[in-house]
Structure 1
Amino acid sequence: MKITHAAACLSALAIATAAQAAPLVRIFELSVHPAEQAAFANVGIDNLSTSIRNEPGTLAMYAAQRTDRPSEHIVVEIYRDEAAYRIHADSPQFKRFAEVAKNALAGRKMWETEPQFLMEKPTALYAINNQRLKINLAEITVKPEHNAAFRKIVMDEMRQSMAQERGVLAMYAVTLKNAPNEWRFFEIYADENVYLAHRQTPHFQGCLKATAEMVRARKVIELQGGTLVNQGGLRFDD
């Protein structure tokens, strides 16, 4: 009986540990040759839409163009774990994408990250070239001595935003691997008005004021269109 109880405890511990494990999040910057934009967009739609439909471990995939430089695409991918990513990388749709990308890409950068906060509305998102959505990628460098305090403040702000604002569809915060004071925020809003209203909320204004002296550099990259898909309901609040 003691052995059974011990096994049950170990099993419960394993389940709890697995539930708390951080998903795998990668960010890409892809430069596409102008003549290859259409082919790249089409194979990207195929890759992302097929993957989110067929792969339970592929939690979210986003590909959007910079509004200031449409030949540059930002891609954010979220997988349950490394095993889920390997399943995706071995899929027929990804191999089709990789084949087109060989000629389409003029440049490629990739960042490994440490997830800090990942949250979506419960309803799955499936948007192809939806120009109404407001999409931002913020790059923030925090003064190292303020990183812990910054983290606490922004995570509290994001929790309130997701809980109180219906049009805030997804918020993700990660830090770059081996650079914990380099933060990246990827956010999706239902439209521009929702985003503007969000910026006026007490929790956002309070966060902005409280972290003003903690930030060394800040850049917001506006994105548009593309393919934005997720399973819905992701919640990682480390």
Structure 2
Amino acid sequence: MDGELFPADGELFPRGRTEIAPGAVHVPDWLGPGLQRELLDACRAWARPPAGLRTVRTPGGGTMTARQVCLGLHWYPYGYARTAVDGDGAPVKPMPGRLAELGREAVAAAYGGADTGAPAEPAPYAYDIALINFYEGDSRMGMHRDAEEKSGAPVVSLSLGDTCVFRFGNTASRGRPYQDLRLRSGDLFVFGGPARLAYHGVPKVLPGTAPPWLGLTGRLNITLRVGGLGTAPD
């Protein structure tokens, strides 16, 4: 805590690793300030054209309020392609090796050795897809499942910027039972195993809650996935 008696947010006790449901784990403050700044700079570069940040349009004619850029493979409702088929049509940017490595490290932190602080070996998953969602103050994400992948590897979610209310539900429906928790800048959330196909969403972003030193207005969510898709269609 850099010599401070209490965390900067005034909490008496630091937030600890929590298993929200079997296979779903929240690890607060997993990303340090330096890595958060590094990821923010990278996201800004990835968001530039070609195949940059775009508004996602749903099959029913609506639009998602969170904008998105993809790496490795391009996600669109509801599939994957090698090009930005619902954007400028350019080839998708490659999945960076460091981001794939970070995904493996995240799973190890969530599932192995995190309570004791003991080092854990990176998980043997080949993360090959990143979906980066940018939330402004009024953005949200409806309840949905990450079901377009053929791999059952855990989904890794990294948060930067403003705090959000994250709703994690069940595998049967978009309704209850679900749990709401707050994901802050630097937090890690991993869900796999029996929770891999659970419905989840972001009903609210809390504007102005990003750490001032980060220099970000809004929220970035970096979601890492293993596609298991082989060669995706154009």
TM-score by length of 2: 0.29
The answer to which structure has the higher helix fraction is 1
Structure number with the higher strand fraction is: 1
Task: Give TM-score scaled by structure 1 length.
Answer: 0.29
- Choose between structure 1 and 2 for higher RCO, CA contacts under 8 A separated by at least 6 residues: 1
* Larger Cα-atom Rg: 1
